[in-house]
Chains A and B, each alone.
Chain A
Amino acid sequence: MEHCENCKCKEKHDYALLAPVLEEYAKVPGSLITILQHAQEIYGYLPTDVLWHIAEETGIKPAKVLGVATFYTQFRFKPVGKYLILLCCGTACHVNGAKKIEETICEELGIKDGDTTDDGLFSLKVVACLGCCSLSPVMMINDETYGSLTPDKVKKILKELREKSEA
């Protein structure tokens, strides 16, 4: 299988981590999304081999598992950086200049929406509305929300996080 040389299908993650989740949900109808959410929480993203493993354990066809996973924007198929930036580009944020904020982040980090920096520190994902519209423009980094952003404020936040992780 020559074409498999660079492909990650042979990779094997530690399925024991997922075992309790599968134990609880594998046979409960309608639980595929819940299982995928737990898997993403455990592995940080949805690796191909984990998706195969879920398909085997639940008896759901692999194509269906992938079909569901790719439908929802929450699911990722690549590892993310230490800091996941969720930048809001919802209506309120758009009206208050979210585009500028996006440009600033992209410029500062040298990445586009959906990418991760080479040092694995930052990932950027554009989302629609974090529900803090009154403080727009807004972004969320891991579990922390930052509001009333300006390009300068964003630069400062990114710098602080970078320094924090270097320390």
Chain B
Amino acid sequence: MKLKDKIILWSRLKSPWIIHFNTGACNGCDIEIVDALTPKYDIERFGIVLKGTPRHADVMIVSGPLTRQQAKRFKRIYDQMPNPKFVLAVGTCACSGGVFDGCYSVVGGIDKVIPVSAYIPGCPARPEAIIDAVVKLITELEKNSKTVSKR
């Protein structure tokens, strides 16, 4: 591994930047995601920063069932993120469509369009669950990076 890659990996693990995308959620999951960023839960202590643009983000946090109108745009935003990228599906809707599964204007879960790294169930997913998923994602990455660097 080159020094440059090592630095990038280190910074990615210490401070993953996230972007929040709403594919047609009822707001319940969105406010819980924002809740996780505010003082009571405060995931910023894990070095996580909310970013406005997909080009700066490592992790995309997605909430809501995928609506037909959003599907194309969602794919485009995902493609704009630099590699390697990760996707967290927050809430039952993002995982499978939830209560809206079968509605004429809903495609279903977000994994119909892009690959998902972690699913967080719950309607809405509690902030604790979101934090748990983020921590698990980071530890998983750390493990992987060790095996990669040994090689």
Chains A and B belong together in one complex: no
Which A residues are within 8 Å of any B CB, using their own CB?
A: none
User: Taking beta carbons and an 8 Å cutoff, which residues of B are in contact with A?
Assistant: none
